[in-house]
């Protein structure tokens, strides 16, 4: 009788705890409700659905963002949810806010596209998949359980595969199939590695004390193999070397607003998981500094050198994203609070730069019908304001002043140098030197775009549309933060200082 009462009391406590946790997940619940509303609206109305679908999407994002801001003020310390499946903290809240802003810019980019009626707002499919990707990315930032990490990554992956192949075209179908095959293999390998870790430790919870204590008893070889397999899945979503092969084809074939989402949301969400994983699976038998240092060097070098030879802007930005994945890994490599803050600052600026870049690239694509370098020659004279904005974005992506891209690289290399002086691992100085050289290499292909715009003659006369003023205003809105945060980076750094990274620092 006593045992039955204790079990009943324990069940009541769990149910009460779960009910409280659900209220913390209101932003995610809002995303789910928005998805349901989009589907229902699409089923009820047969014609002229674009305005209604766009209103539902933007209202859902606005309400979700308001709830996220509220969470930022209410939650200061880390809070475990759903019996350890999730862990919400200011890092995850900050990233979720960034994801919502990013998706909002992507939808604005879609509205400015000539194909918005045909591809984006004619029905709810693309919007549902985009919100599904946002939901998966949000859970990725909060996941601290191997099972939850796998499920959230798969939600992002499945939505990404569908978005790649959802619109018509042979290239899109080919890119989607390649993406699916690479992703399925990476997912299977990652899941197998997770099963090894579960077998070794007896728990799926990365923050569990028994998980940490069991790691020290595992022989070096099997633990290393398991970690390599698990990291394979994470690196695939990050788009880093050596699991970057899918990026160029997917970026080139997929509609530009969707590519903008691919280039940021899964990447930053995967970076959060890698940050947690390498700091919580931190045992003497695994030299994470060496592993991540090699991955960072390879990603930066392969991405930058491959970008030099591209003839399509979107393919160039795909290889650029691989290089930026390497720079983002440098923040983790520092293994310090300042390194993590620099990584988050870099990720925030990267989000602004990439969405601004793809918005402006779409403007050129709408004018010329192509994203090849050949098609944009001489457009700087015809649409000077838009071309000036893309020049600012390219300077920021390179990491030059007076843009926030300079600050982000300065902070991340400063944290790396500080870590080298403290720890003295030889791989750190190699990453430092090769990272600086890669910044110089990036200068050549980033400035190729403004060079063609302003210093080459157009191959033929183009009939330009009359949308430049609106595009210029929106482009200015997206590019202006890159200039403001160069002079007042303390605005963003102040937010970073309120995030506690000590939970994942050994």
Q: For 203-232, how does the pLDDT look when each residue is reduced to its tens digit (9 = 90+)?
A: 888 888 888 888 888 888 899 899 999 999
CA distance 382 to 404: 28
Mean pLDDT on 328-350? 88
Residue 25 located in a structural domain:
no
Whether omega for the bond prior to residue 402 falls within 30 degrees of 0, making it cis, is yes
Locate 420 and state its tokens. Answer: 């080298």
Residues forming beta bridges with residue 80, ordered by sequence position = 87
Mean pLDDT on 269-275? 91
CB contact set of 181 (below 8 Å; sequence gap of 6+): none
| pLDDT above 90 (res 458) | no
Most confident stretch, 48-57, 364-373, 477-486: 477-486
**Confidence class for position 19, pLDDT limits 50, 70, 90:** low
| pLDDT above 70 (res 465) | no
Comparing CA positions, the residue from 57, 28, 175, 29 lying closest to residue 123 is 57
CB 411 within 8 A of CB 435: no
Mean pLDDT on 35-59? 88
**Angle separating helix axes 26-44 and 2-24, nearest 10 degrees:** 70
pLDDT of residue 6: 41
- What is the residue range of 299's domain? 287-506
pLDDT of residue 155: 93
**Confidence class for position 300, pLDDT limits 50, 70, 90:** very high
CB contact set of 478 (below 8 Å; sequence gap of 6+): 105, 352, 355, 356, 359
CB 61 within 8 A of CB 104: yes
Mean pLDDT on 231-240? 89
CB 387 within 8 A of CB 454: yes
Mean pLDDT on 254-276? 90
* 161-165, 186-190, 423-427, 442-446: least confident range: 423-427
Total domains in the fold of the chain: 1
pLDDT in tens, 132-167: 999 999 999 998 889 999 999 999 999 999 988 887
Handedness of CA 252, 258, 264, 267 (dihedral sign): negative
What's the chain's average pLDDT?
85
CB 67 within 8 A of CB 27: yes
Looking at the chain, the whole-number percentage of residues with pLDDT higher than 70 is 92
Residue 157 located in a structural domain:
no
* 29-43, 59-73, 342-356, 457-471: least confident range: 457-471
| pLDDT above 70 (res 3) | no
Residue 403 located in a structural domain:
yes
Q: Which residue has the higher pLDDT, 484 or 339?
A: 484
Comparing CA positions, the residue from 183, 285, 194 lying closest to residue 237 is 183
Cβ neighbours around 422 below 10 Å, total: 12
pLDDT of residue 118: 56
pLDDT of residue 15: 54
Q: Which three-class secondary structure state does DSSP give residue 143?
A: strand
Q: Which residue has the higher pLDDT, 483 or 16?
A: 483
CA distance 496 to 45: 45
| φ and ψ at residue 312, rounded to 5 degrees | -125, 135
Residue 456 located in a structural domain:
yes
Give rounded-to-5 percent helix, strand, coil for the chain. Answer: 80, 0, 20
CA distance 412 to 433: 13
pLDDT of residue 464: 63
**Confidence class for position 506, pLDDT limits 50, 70, 90:** very low
Residue 196 located in a structural domain:
no
pLDDT of residue 298: 93
| pLDDT above 70 (res 475) | yes
* 278-292, 359-373, 402-416, 462-476: least confident range: 462-476
Cβ neighbours around 498 below 10 Å, total: 10
* 77-81, 260-264, 466-470: least confident range: 466-470
Q: Which three-class secondary structure state does DSSP give residue 312?
A: strand
pLDDT of residue 195: 93
Mean pLDDT on 395-405? 90
Find the largest Cα–Cα distance for the chain. 89
Residue 54 located in a structural domain:
no
The β-bridge relationship of strands 86-88 and 79-81 is antiparallel
pLDDT of residue 45: 83
pLDDT of residue 2: 42
Residue 313 located in a structural domain:
yes
CB 78 within 8 A of CB 206: no
Locate 169 and state its tokens. Answer: 């075209």
**Angle separating helix axes 265-280 and 90-111, nearest 10 degrees:** 160
**Confidence class for position 12, pLDDT limits 50, 70, 90:** low
Residue 388 located in a structural domain:
yes
């Amino acid at each position: 009788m006593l045992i039955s009462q204790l079990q009943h009391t324990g069940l009541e406590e769990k149910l009460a705890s779960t009910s409280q946790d659900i209220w913390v997940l209101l932003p995610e619940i809002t995303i789910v409700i928005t998805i349901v509303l989009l589907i229902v609206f699409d089923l009820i109305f047969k014609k002229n659905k674009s305005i209604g679908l766009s209103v539902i999407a933007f209202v859902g994002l606005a309400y979700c963002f308001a709830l996220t801001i509220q969470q930022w003020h209410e939650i200061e310390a880390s809070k475990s949810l759903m019996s350890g499946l999730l862990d919400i903290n200011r890092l995850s809240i900050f990233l979720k806010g960034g994801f919502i802003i990013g998706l909002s810019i992507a939808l604005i980019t879609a509205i400015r596209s000539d194909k918005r009626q045909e591809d984006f707002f004619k029905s709810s499919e693309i919007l549902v998949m985009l919100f599904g990707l946002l939901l998966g990315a949000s859970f990725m930032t909060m996941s601290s359980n191997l099972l939850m990490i796998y499920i959230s990554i798969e939600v992002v992956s499945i939505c990404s595969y569908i978005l790649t192949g959802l619109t018509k075209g042979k290239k899109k179908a080919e890119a989607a199939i390649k993406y699916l095959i690479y992703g399925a293999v990476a997912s299977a390998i990652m899941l197998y590695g997770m099963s090894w870790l579960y077998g070794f430790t007896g728990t799926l919870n990365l923050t569990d004390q028994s998980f940490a204590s069991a790691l020290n008893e595992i022989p070096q070889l099997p633990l290393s193999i398991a970690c390599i397999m698990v990291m394979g899945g994470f690196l695939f979503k990050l788009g880093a070397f050596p699991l970057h092969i899918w990026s160029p084809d997917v970026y080139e074939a997929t509609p530009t607003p969707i590519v903008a989402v691919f280039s940021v949301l899964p990447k930053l969400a995967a970076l959060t998981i890698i940050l947690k994983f390498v700091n919580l699976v931190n045992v003497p038998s695994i030299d994470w500094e060496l592993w991540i240092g090699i991955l960072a060097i390879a990603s930066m070098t392969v991405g930058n050198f491959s970008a030099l030879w591209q003839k399509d802007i979107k393919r160039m930005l795909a290889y650029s994203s691989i290089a930026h994945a390497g720079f983002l890994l440098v923040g983790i490599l520092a293994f310090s609070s300042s390194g993590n803050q620099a990584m988050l600052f870099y990720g925030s600026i990267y989000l602004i730069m990439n969405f601004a870049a793809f918005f402006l690239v779409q403007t050129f694509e709408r004018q010329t019908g192509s994203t090849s370098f050949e098609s944009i020659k001489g457009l700087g004279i015809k649409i000077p304001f838009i071309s000036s904005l893309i020049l600012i974005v390219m300077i920021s992506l390179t990491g030059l002043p007076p843009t926030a891209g300079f600050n982000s690289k300065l902070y991340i290399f400063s944290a790396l140098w500080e870590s080298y002086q403290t720890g003295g691992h030889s791989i750190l100085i190699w990453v430092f030197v090769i990272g600086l050289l890669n910044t110089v290499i990036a200068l050549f292909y980033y400035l190729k775009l403004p060079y063609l715009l302003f210093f080459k003659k157009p191959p033929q006369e183009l009939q330009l549309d009359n949308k430049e003023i609106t595009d210029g205003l929106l482009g200015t809105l997206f590019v202006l933060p890159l200039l403001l945060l160069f002079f007042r980076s303390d605005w963003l750094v102040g937010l970073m200082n309120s995030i506690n990274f000590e939970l994942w620092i050994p």
